[in-house]
């Protein structure tokens, strides 16, 4: 069981380096998928808005990491 738990933890670690950054990215994707169309944003602007959201999440993560 310990070996299985270790293997799962290693597999998780391969995909998720920083859980807060991962969560932030997922929130941005959810906003892009549902909130932007619901707000009636023109299709041509949704990609650039997605980029801006992700850039904000990335910058905030760097700021927090630098303070640690």
Which residues of this chain interact with another protein, rule CB under 8 A?
Answer: 10, 14-15, 29, 32-33, 43-44, 46-48, 50-51, 54-55, 58-59, 61-63, 65-66
Report the nearest approach of another protein to the CB of residue 18 (Å).
9
Least spacing, CB of residue 3 vs another protein, in Å: 11
- Decide: residue 58, CB within 10 A, 0-12 exposed, 13-18 middle, 19+ buried: middle
Instruction: Tell me the closest approach of the beta carbon of residue 32 to another protein, in angstroms.
Output: 6
């Amino acid at each position: 069981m310990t070996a299985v738990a270790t293997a799962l933890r290693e597999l998780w670690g391969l995909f998720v380096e920083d859980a807060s950054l991962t969560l932030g990215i997922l929130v941005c994707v959810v906003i892009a998928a549902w909130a932007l169309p619901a707000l009636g944003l023109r299709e041509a602007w949704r990609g650039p808005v997605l980029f801006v959201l992700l850039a904000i999440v990335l910058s905030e993560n760097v700021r927090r990491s630098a303070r640690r």
